Amino acid sequence: MKSGMGDIVMDRYAVIGNPIKQSMSPVIHRAFARETNQNLEYDKLFAEVDGFKPVVDAFFAAGAKGLNVTAPFKLDAFAYADSLTERARTAGAVNTLALQDDGRLLGDNTDGPGLVSDIRDRLGWRIEGQRVLVLGAGGATRGTLLPLLNECPALLHIANRTASKAVQLAEDFAAYGDLSASGLDKIPQAFDLVINASAAGLSGERPQIDPSVMGTGSCAYDMVYGAEPTAFLRWAEPLSASTADGLGMLVGQAAEAFYLWRGVRPSVEPVLSMLREALRNKVEAAAR
């Protein structure tokens, strides 16, 4: 489509959700585009809870190239896609749609790669050969299990308040690696890396686990992020753990989507620094 910049044609992308005003995806992808000299437009799309398909139909009919998908539409996008990557299929959810050369839409899930790249590449924490504990057995966990297992941890244990959900998830992924599962009160040993993917973090709480699950020199990662440390990270810090929140995962999964669309992998760190500063400024402004 014409962008108003002479005759330059701008490929069109967007993020769809409900609500959508809070999304930082346009800021992230526009920064990626500037860095990599890609000509594209990136906007926000709102859809009613039962209105995903008509909005997306119209978006791609107008010549769009790709779409990010946020809550509550990841299952809708899973059903909408013409084909799926393995990580999307195992996750049971799609957060990225990419138009292929044959006109078909590929559904992908970049959450897991975003998590792994943030932990392994940006933070420099090891996953391979490590004892990994994932807290929670919902969609956030399901979306990251295959990429984590592909890193070949020594073991991967899922713990959830309702133990049966963790056990079922471990059974679902048994073909991809060795997993174990339990309730939060039956976690079997100390771990090198503990990832909080539980719903507790969304409400400012933390999973109720014993401090003994944190091994010596362990790392604690919370998928939730904010201007201040989360409840889980505040709990882990006195246990001498290295800590990080999920802002890097947010930027990392966006970078993976950008690469899927454009074939260019953008730098994560400059955008992450920009978002971190914006969060700090927001808190400071609210305190004035």
The catalytic residues are 74
User: Does residue 65 have a known ligand-binding role?
Assistant: no
- Token couple for 53: 């398909």
User: Does residue 163 have a known ligand-binding role?
Assistant: yes
User: Does residue 263 have a known ligand-binding role?
Assistant: no
Residue 66 contacts residue 83 (beta carbons within 8 Å): no
User: Does residue 189 have a known ligand-binding role?
Assistant: no
- The DSSP annotation for 79-118 comes to HH-SEE-HHHHHHT--SEEEE-TTSPEEEE--HHHHHHHI
User: Does residue 225 have a known ligand-binding role?
Assistant: yes
User: Does residue 254 have a known ligand-binding role?
Assistant: no
User: Does residue 230 have a known ligand-binding role?
Assistant: no
User: Does residue 253 have a known ligand-binding role?
Assistant: yes
Inter-axis angle of helices 247-262 and 269-287, to 10 degrees? 140
Residue 3 exposure: Cα atoms within 13 Å on the Cβ side: 13
Distances (CA, A) of 209 to 134, 137, 160, 252: 12, 15, 10, 28
User: Does residue 215 have a known ligand-binding role?
Assistant: no
Residue 166 contacts residue 143 (beta carbons within 8 Å): no
User: Does residue 42 have a known ligand-binding role?
Assistant: no
User: Does residue 139 have a known ligand-binding role?
Assistant: yes
Helices (H), the chain: 25-36, 52-61, 74-80, 86-91, 111-117, 139-150, 163-172, 231-236, 247-262, 269-287
User: Does residue 25 have a known ligand-binding role?
Assistant: yes
Residue 80 contacts residue 107 (beta carbons within 8 Å): yes
- Sheet containing strand 191-196, strands side by side: 179-183, 155-160, 131-135, 191-196, 214-222, 242-244
User: Does residue 162 have a known ligand-binding role?
Assistant: yes
- Token couple for 252: 């990392």
Annotated binding site for shikimate: 23-25, 70, 95, 111, 225, 253
Annotated binding site: 23-25, 70, 86, 95, 111, 136-140, 160-165, 223, 225, 246, 253
Annotated binding site for NADP(+): 86, 136-140, 160-165, 223, 246
